[in-house]
Structure 1
Amino acid sequence: MRGAVHSHLEESIRPYIDLIDTLRSAGIHKDLALPTIIVIGDQSSGKSSVLEALSGVPLPRGSGIVTRCPLELRLKKVEGGVSWKAVLSYNDKKNEFVDSSSLETRVHEAQDELAGKGVAIRDDLITLEVMSPGVCDLTLIDLPGITRVPVNGQPQDIGSQIKRMIMKYIEKQETINMVVCPCNTDIATTEALKMAQEVDPDGKRTVAILTKPDLIDKGTEKRILRIVSNEVIPLRKGYIMVKCRGQQQIDDNISLEESADMERDFFQNHEHFSCLLQEEKATIKSLAVKLSQHLVDHIKKSLRQLNEQIKKKLWDLRNELKECEAGPPQDPRGAKKFLIQRNPGRHEKSPLHPIWLASFGSNSESGMIILTVQRHLVTIQDYKTAERIQFSHKYRGRELLGFGNYRMFEGDLQKHVATLKAPAIKLLNTIKEIILEQFTDVVNQCFQNYSVLQNIIMNKIKNIQSSQQAKAEQRISEQFEMEKMIYTQDPIYLKFLNEISDEKFSEDELPVFDIKSKYSEMLEAYYEIVVQRMSDQLPMMISFFMLKETAQLLSIDMLSLLDGANVSELLFENSDVAPQKIG
């Protein structure tokens, strides 16, 4: 059976259909949406009949929910050797058969297996590929009919389930939405048309098909004509009226060819609808012509975007292929060389590369980790500001207590300098976590296909970081012990004091500084010196122990893996890598 659309498709859009078919055969449709025709409609609107008439393939029909799973119909034209063959695929199953009379039964069985026997629906795609010299290369998808009130054991949210399923398909810009509406209902209340308007408000990719014109009430013909003339609910692609085979015609074994002749006779002899034939707004044949025109235009518009999507996908796949790489050499010498080259620090794109270079005295720009550390090291300066204000206010006006005693001066400073130790240690812990996270990312980048090596290196990093943290914490404690010794150069002290005080002093006036009214400013000036000194020293300590020495120690441990170890075992690839390379 050759559907009415076939010959026109072959003549007008053959090159475009061939292109989409080639892409689909290559599996592009698994990753990218290709131009497709979607058939939607309210329950029992006649959409399966329309699909049958267009494709020439008899599909399940009846009352209630007939289409209970999305049915993707792939028509594939083949020349010679095959008169008719179909492949029904679903849920990782694939069944081939050559008897077209069993098609309806097999689709019902597939729906029963996926959705269960009854009236439930399932968002699992059933793919029916039909190969025959009498079909064209085309893809049509029939979706469950929209229902509003659950009946006969349907779940209470059956309407919402169906709408979600439909929306997933029709919202794609690559689809042409064929909305099927019975003539004997009020089109304004048609849920399918409302949904199409939501995703395609301008009607650029929506065609409305009016079915069952033989069932309309007498006297409503003019209202139907106004709809077809785009006067009620305007659609840019318009409306087409069709009369498909009814159940009685199927029972009488009337073929699709005979049904098409009967359809034309119906419109030719109809008192009101005969004008639609001249306007090419009636019959399946007219629908086929319009549909093929819309489809070729849609393919043309989609090609540029599809080309960009394919290029992007190809670029992503090439990057993934690079990550899979060819794998490590099998000989021990080559494997050791490979491991040396994959050292996280030596890797040029690694965030640790600047640290690696710095650890050997090379000049380099700060890497990602350095910048992250620097952003967190400003916390000591922030803490300093709060302490300065608190200290200044706390000791202002206490000159009657007599600050001429140097031990009092020293004790007060030691007390407030000691308050900086807690935030310094907290900063060290914070930086450690940041560095560990960055090291983990780097190791995953460099050895993403080698889980054994990843685990070994991460254990080494954690051990090194713990050891380095203890050293850094000890060094910070020693620094605070040294700060108990009140010391600074006189010129530096004068500089800070002159910045704080409203009076200006020189080294010649140092003996007269024992002025009780200036004690608060003198204490604040020295405290500023201490905080500034710590703001420089702490980042240097943390960077040295947690970054530079860690990179050096990690490099040494990495190279030590080459001595006495089975490098081939270290470079054993993950089980999922090989299939990716083959695929």
Structure 2
Amino acid sequence: MSQCGSSKGKSSGLNQHYEEKVRPCIDLVDTLRSLGVEKDLNLPASAVIGIVTRCPLVLKRKKITKGNNWHGVLSYKKQEKKLKDPAEIENAVLNAQTILAGKGEGISHDMITLEIQSSDVPDLTLIDLPGIARIATGNQPVDIEEQIKGLIEKLIKRQETISLVVVPANIDIATTEALRMASKVDSTGQRTLGILTKPDLVDKGMEETVIKTVNNQEIPLKKGYMIVKCRGQQDINEKLDLVQALEKERQFFDGHSHFRSLLEDRKATIPLLAERLTKELVEHIAKTLPQLQKQLQMKLEKTSEDLKTLGDGVPLDENEKSNFLIMKIRQFNDALEGVKRAEEDLKTSDTRVFSKIRWEFGKWKLALDSKAIKSEFLITLYNDILHKLNSHFNAFSHLLRAAKDPIEDFLEEQVQKAEEKIHSQFKMEKIVYSQDELYSSQLNIVKQKSLSGYGLKASFVNADVREMAYHLTSYLKITCDRLANQIPLIVQYHMVDQYISQLQNAMLAMIGGKNPGMLLREDSGVALKRKELKERLERLKKAGKVLSKFVHSA
């Protein structure tokens, strides 16, 4: 894919494919990351574990085909530094780390972004994570190991991240903490690629073990292994440039009696690693794109809903404050009216309150128990009213508190009235009464069922006893039907109709009864949260446009 090293002779057709397919995929994720949506979405990424840094470093390498000018930009926390020469990179990164992580040897979760444009680099974006320190040294925090592991795991546990585990070839790879961490979050090795370094330090006699490891025969990973030889300290001291360093690396593998086979199998050298990483990243981006779109849509909807709940904020003008209070209370009263009329909005619930309480009322046919009505029905109604109250007045704690008092007071008042009527109803049922026509009709139904083999069994020896049973059954049916209708009617009248009407009137009384400015005083932090939500919404909208444009052009 890259035109570095051994891929210089690629055809123009493949170059065209590269420009049309590969570059746009990497640019897509880079653009999304530059918008800051990584705070909101899990973006596809390749994360390197095992290199010594103190902050996560996003390395963006972009190949330019026109001119040979090298260009670099280092950025962090809205700070930006332009780099004119590769020699400036090390000091620039160290200075940024000091600002973000302090002068000691601690770490920071804040990311540094280093973008390099050159004709000598492949298109590739990597996230370099801090190396794992087992023991605190010098002025490092005592819990430095836990801090670093927490930072690394936070990123590599995401299904959208490819983990690149960097391990020296001269040690036992099975004992490395980096590979253990990767295995913990990716037990099948689907998202892990092993990278061996320092092949020149491998002891004689151990070369075959290294070859087996790279050939995926020791500790298998789905993505396998690569091996590279980076610039040593002598190369750095001699200021060996990138082209010379890559040629020296190629010569090392080409001239090595054991490792030459790895070069021939395209499993060795930095240019081939870069090519492999680019391919892996592009395939990974394509694979995770549908889920990314779904993630984005869900975040957009949730952010819009949260922002709608907070509203635009309280106007400064006193007259406008009064109008704003009227609007908020009317919106709440409209929601209450929806509950009363069984026409409430189902955006925040999958079942209307009226449907829930009708299910409770249905129990009366089997068990006429006023306590059950009070416990189940009241909890349902009270929770729903408070939920609507919070959704409308969440940003205004003073208004919320002022509204809670009538909610609780009127509820208790209407409960008492409903209980009184229910007790009266049961007292009245001590009087035996039914209209003659209704009674005769029901008695006839009971007798017909008995004769047809349903209902009462006609097994009574005495005809008078059988007749008495017919009458008792008929009257019991009439009484149960009466109570099954009357009790829920009383409850619904007081606990829904009258209660909500009283509550609506109390809310309207607030408009002229108290200082709007006091009721509408926002809690500390609400304005900040609104600002954050607006910024997130803007980011996500921009990201949505970028994604949509990419999908349509693909």
Question: With structure 2 as the length reference, what TM-score do the two structures score?
Answer: 0.71
Amino acid at match of 2:509: S
Q: Deviations over 1:219-273 (max 9, x none)?
A: 3323433333344445454322211233455566656555434322322322222
Structure 2 matches for 1:518-533, cutoff 5 A? 530-533=479-482
Quote the residue 1:539 is aligned against. 488
Quote the residue 2:342 is aligned against. 354
Give the conservation status (yes or no) of the 8 Å contact 1:76–1:129: no
Where 2:266 maps in the other structure, the secondary structure is coil
Quote the residue 1:550 is aligned against. 499
Quote the residue 1:127 is aligned against. 111
Q: Deviations over 1:118-151 (max 9, x none)?
A: xxx76x414222355558875433334457x768
1:565 positional shift: 5.2
2:356 to 372, 378, 401: 372
The range that moved more, 570-579 or 532-541, is 570-579
**Is 1:72 matched with 2:57?**
yes
Amino acid at match of 2:212: R
1:544 positional shift: 0.7
| Count of aligned residue pairs for this structure pair | 493
1:425 positional shift: 4.2
1:328 positional shift: 7.1
1:34 positional shift: 1.7
CA distance in 2: counterparts of 1:101 and 1:158, whole angstroms:
23
CA distance in 1: counterparts of 2:70 and 2:420, whole angstroms:
83
Change in Cα spacing, 1:440 to 1:522, as seen in structure 2 (3 Å) is same
1:571 positional shift: 5.0
Aligned-pair identity (%):
34
**Is 1:444 matched with 2:393?**
no
Unaligned runs of 5+ in 1: 41-46, 49-65, 357-365, 385-422
Where 1:37 maps in the other structure, the secondary structure is strand
Structure 2 matches for 1:317-466, cutoff 5 A? 317-326=303-312, 331=319, 334-335=323-324, 338-339=327-328, 341-345=330-334, 350-354=338-342, 368-383=352-367, 423-425=369-371, 427-466=373-412
CA distance in 2: counterparts of 1:256 and 1:374, whole angstroms:
77
Amino acid at match of 1:20: V
Give the conservation status (yes or no) of the 8 Å contact 1:354–1:367: no
CA distance in 2: counterparts of 1:21 and 1:351, whole angstroms:
48
1:563 positional shift: 4.4
1:207 to 193, 208, 211: 193
The range that moved more, 69-78 or 517-526, is 517-526
Change in Cα spacing, 1:428 to 1:196, as seen in structure 2 (3 Å) is closer
Amino acid at match of 1:345: D
1:31 positional shift: 0.9
1:30 to 28, 39, 45: 39
Give the conservation status (yes or no) of the 8 Å contact 1:352–1:442: no
**Is 1:471 matched with 2:437?**
no
1:229 to 204, 215, 236: 215
Give the conservation status (yes or no) of the 8 Å contact 1:344–1:352: no
CA distance in 1: counterparts of 2:141 and 2:332, whole angstroms:
59
Structure showing greater Rg = 1
Quote the residue 1:266 is aligned against. 252
Where 2:433 maps in the other structure, the secondary structure is coil
Where 1:485 maps in the other structure, the secondary structure is coil
Give the conservation status (yes or no) of the 8 Å contact 2:208–2:258: yes
CA distance in 1: counterparts of 2:412 and 2:401, whole angstroms:
17
CA distance in 2: counterparts of 1:547 and 1:301, whole angstroms:
52
Change in Cα spacing, 1:127 to 1:501, as seen in structure 2 (3 Å) is closer
CA distance in 2: counterparts of 1:107 and 1:335, whole angstroms:
47
1:211 positional shift: 1.4
Give the conservation status (yes or no) of the 8 Å contact 2:74–2:112: yes
Q: Deviations over 1:275-299 (max 9, x none)?
A: 3333332211221222222222322
1:141 to 118, 124, 127: 127
Q: Could you say which structure has the greater relative contact order, defined with CA pairs below 8 angstroms and 6 or more residues apart?
A: 2
1:481 to 407, 417, 427: 427
For the aligned residue pairs, the C-alpha RMSD in angstroms reads: 4.7
**Is 1:86 matched with 2:32?**
no
Question: With structure 1 as the length reference, what TM-score do the two structures score?
Answer: 0.68
